[in-house]
Structure 1
Amino acid sequence: MTTTLEDRQLDSLFTALSDPTRRDIVARLGAGEATVKELAEPYAMSLQAVSQHIRVLERSGLISQGRHRQTRPCRLEPAALEAALSWIEESRRAWSERMDRMETHLGRLQDGENQ
């Protein structure tokens, strides 16, 4: 099986979202920009540990960091989430169609037994 760029991007995105701290950071950035220091406040971990989580999110494309004077505010990148949502929706649709076909097939089998 050949791995495409899109596959690698989705792998990176879902890996980044597999950690509860990173999911929480993404949720918090959904409310607006925040500095690393602001993002680190609720966690019982070092600023360096939070920075590592932010780097993982940044590599996945979920967030970006800008420059504003002395700070580097983080912001959510909705396009990365849209790619994940698109993949999830395509998968949901495919599985729904498969389940519908199986239900139809089982119905035919039951009708054959009842005759």
Structure 2
Amino acid sequence: MAKFLYVYHGSGKMPTDEAERKAATDAWTGWYGKLGSAVVDGGNPVGMSKMVLPGGKVENNGGSNPTAGYTIVEAKDIDDAVAKAKDCPILMDPAFSVEIAPIIEMM
């Protein structure tokens, strides 16, 4: 099985209401449960990023497509990884997306 990186893109804003946080946590827990042992690293949400550009210029805007978090999964191939991502709870919000890339083992 190969490993794939899911990079979640969107606002990166966490729900502030307790009921919304619980619903989000329950949705993620359910999805991870469905994926089972395919989840190598459940990952975490991330905060707003900074971008370092050529020449050392720094932008504080999080980039053109802000990263909201990540997960690492195992799958047979990229099509299997895509199929697994289709039920990701983050996709309930049309402002979010999941970018999927194979992790290339160097050693």
Shorter-chain TM-score bucket reads under 0.3
Q: Which has the larger radius of gyration?
A: 1
TM-score, normalised with respect to structure 1:
0.25
More strand as a share of residues: 2
Looking at both structures, which has the greater relative contact order when contacts are Cα pairs under 8 Å and sequence separation is at least 6? Answer: 2
TM-score, normalised with respect to structure 2:
0.27
